[in-house]
Amino acid sequence: MTRYLLWFAHELVDFRYPEILSITSMFNISIKFIEKPSSQKPYWIVELPDEESARKIASRSISLKSCIELWARAKTGLQLHENLKQSLKNFQGKWLVPVKWKELDISDSHICPFILLEGMEEKSFKIEVETFCKHFSMSEKIEKIEAFNYLPLQGPVKLKNPDVTLSYIEFYGTDPNNPPDLPYDLFFGRWVAEGQRDLIQQYSLKKRKFIGNTSMDAQLSFLMVNQAQVTPGHLVLDPFVGSGSVLVAAAHFGGHVWGSDIDYMMLHARTRPTRVGHKTRSKDESIRSNMTQYGVQSQYLDVVVSDFSLPLWRDHMQFDAIITDPPYGVREPTEKIGIDRENYTLSEEHLINHIPSKVDYGLPHMYGDLMTFAAKHLHKSHRFVCWYPVIRDEYDESMLPSHPCLKLVANSEQILTKLTARRLLTYEKISEGIPNVPVDLDNVISNFRNKYFAAGEMTRRQKKEKQSDEINSNTETNIKPQNVT
């Protein structure tokens, strides 16, 4: 096992651990944590079987910035250099070979008695300096780099695409407004691989051809796909597809994607334009055009207009992953085909041009249908991933939907407002049999929309009352006592 430093982007911290565990499970990689992962630190120190394992993790992770083969770690600069000189012994036969002191003709015992392997002296290199929560000028960074002049690096310095990149990192905590004078932790090692952070910009909604009001941003879409462990050749379904953000991310990693939605206007790109200043949509806007834009059109199967509450797929149809973000009734309505009137009939003359009416598709019934569908149409040991809205003060894990055939393996929170959040739930199918028992919906949130807006109104009312109390208090304080005669 080799020790590595996994350096993360310090955002969506709650998603970091489930994503890495999903990726290591997907590639069957053994990972050992040297320290317990902390939300207060943007890094982990782990042991992995080999460098190929580290590269596989970096090839999928959207949370990971970089992976570094850790050579030394310390709390002070002096100790870091001492530890680094000692750790070079671990790289005998890989980067360096030991030699006798007299062959080097040196007397300074602090210089490590190693030289580069034959051929390594021709490899170009560079040393990068990175600081977290503290800024240094270029001259200060160069001074830090020159402190490593004892390393036996004899090749040319190359700042762009060198053969070997060495990284020196200083960690100053997570409060950029009040950093300490000295770093809490220092690291030095060899850069191994970059994470997939570039995908966030590459697939940004700002550049995408077709988007809607509720389009999932690229980072969250890729997190969902990693949770679902999508690999090349997988058949992926999004039953509430919207503008297809999840399909784009799944197709990038080789999934063959399929979607459905009840919103005819959205699937045909006839809704009101989302971008400011656009009055009409262009004729070529569609989910297919997004696929073409990113060069993954060969992974695109199709999308269909359908009501998820009504059976659409054949009983034997099986998917490798089901990934979706159902509507919560806030920005998009929760609807299914139906009518509130009893004994309603439709004449044949009106049937040809009839547009079915819709009724409310309550969250308990929607998530019940999703769980039942996943238990029936998902391959065993494969995953169903969905978002679930919550009122933060009321949240309890017992309120999450459950099914005997599905095991909850990950649960991450994205805070939306002070009062509301949504949780990314990842279920794994553990049984092929479909027990004749109902889905447990007793605690599933049933009126999120009402609570969402009621909570917002309460907040505004409290603010007004507080402002009013402050005004009255200031008025009473400023009243001058009258003269009494």
CA dihedral for 243, 299, 20, 62, sign (positive or negative): negative
- Is residue 483 included in any domain, yes or no? no
Question: Taking each helix axis from N to C terminus, what angle separates 218-227 and 16-26, rounded to the nearest 10 degrees?
Answer: 50
Same domain, 147 and 260: no
Report how far residue 176's alpha carbon sits from residue 131's, in angstroms, rounded to the nearest whole number.
11
Residues 159 and 248 grouped into a single domain: no
Q: Are residues 166 and 204 in the same domain?
A: no
- Parts of the chain with a pLDDT under 50: 93, 97-119, 477, 479-485
Q: How many domains does the chain have?
A: 2
Q: Is residue 456 part of a domain?
A: no
On whether both 269 and 131 belong to a single domain, the answer is no
- Residue 239 belongs to what domain range? 200-451
Position 52 scores a pLDDT of 96
Residue whose C-alpha is closest to residue 236's, from 325, 324, 321, 326: 321
Domain membership of residue 273 (yes or no) is yes
**Residue where the block lists tokens 């997570």:** 174
For residue 470, is it within any domain?
A: no
Same domain for 37 and 148, yes or no, is yes
Burial class (CB in 10 A: 0-12, 13-18, 19+), 240: buried
For 218-264, write each residue's pLDDT tens digit.
Answer: 999 999 999 999 999 999 999 999 999 999 999 999 999 999 999 99
Q: Give residue 5's pLDDT.
A: 97
Domain-terminating residue out of 196, 218, 236:
196
Pairing assessment for the beta strands 319-324 and 378-391 based on DSSP bridges: parallel
Q: Is 174 inside a domain boundary?
A: yes
- The predicted model scores a pTM of 0.86
pLDDT confidence of residue 472:
60
Q: What is the pLDDT of residue 154?
A: 72
* Judgement on whether residues 299 and 240 belong to the same structural domain of the protein: yes
Do 192 and 311 belong to one domain? no
* Domain end (from 178, 196, 214): 196
DSSP class per residue in 249-285: HHHHTT-EEEEEES-HHHHTT-SPP-STT--S--TT-
| 116: CATH | 3.30.2130.30
Number of C-beta neighbours around residue 125 at 10 A = 18
Same domain, 187 and 205: no
In the chain, % of residues over pLDDT 70: 84
**pLDDT for res 142:** 93
Q: 231 and 335 share a domain?
A: yes
CA dist 116 and 97 (Å) reads: 6
Dist CA 480 CA 187 (whole Å): 65
**299 lies in some domain:** yes
d(CA 373, CA 370): 5
CA distance 82 to 380: 52
Asked if residue 139 belongs to a domain, the reply is yes
Say yes or no: 370 and 355 in one domain: yes
At what angle are helices 245-252 and 218-227 packed, to 10 degrees? 60
Q: Which CATH number belongs to the domain containing residue 249 in this structure?
A: 3.40.50.150
Any domain includes 475: no
| 40 lies in the same domain as 135 | yes
* C-beta separation of 20 from 63 below 8 A: yes
Strand partners, 98: 114
Determine the longest span between alpha carbons in the chain, in angstroms: 108
Which pLDDT value is given to residue 106?
39
Quote the CA–CA distance of 17 and 249 in Å, as a whole number.
Answer: 20
Q: What is the pLDDT of residue 470?
A: 58
**Same structural domain for residues 186 and 219?**
no
- What pLDDT does residue 414 have? 96
Question: Which of 143, 172, 196 is the last residue in one of the domains?
Answer: 196
Interior/surface letters 53-89, b for 16+ CB within 10 angstroms, e for the rest: bbebbbebbbbbbbbbbbbbbbeeeeebbeebbebbe
pLDDT in tens, 153-190: 777 888 898 888 999 999 999 998 899 999 999 999 99
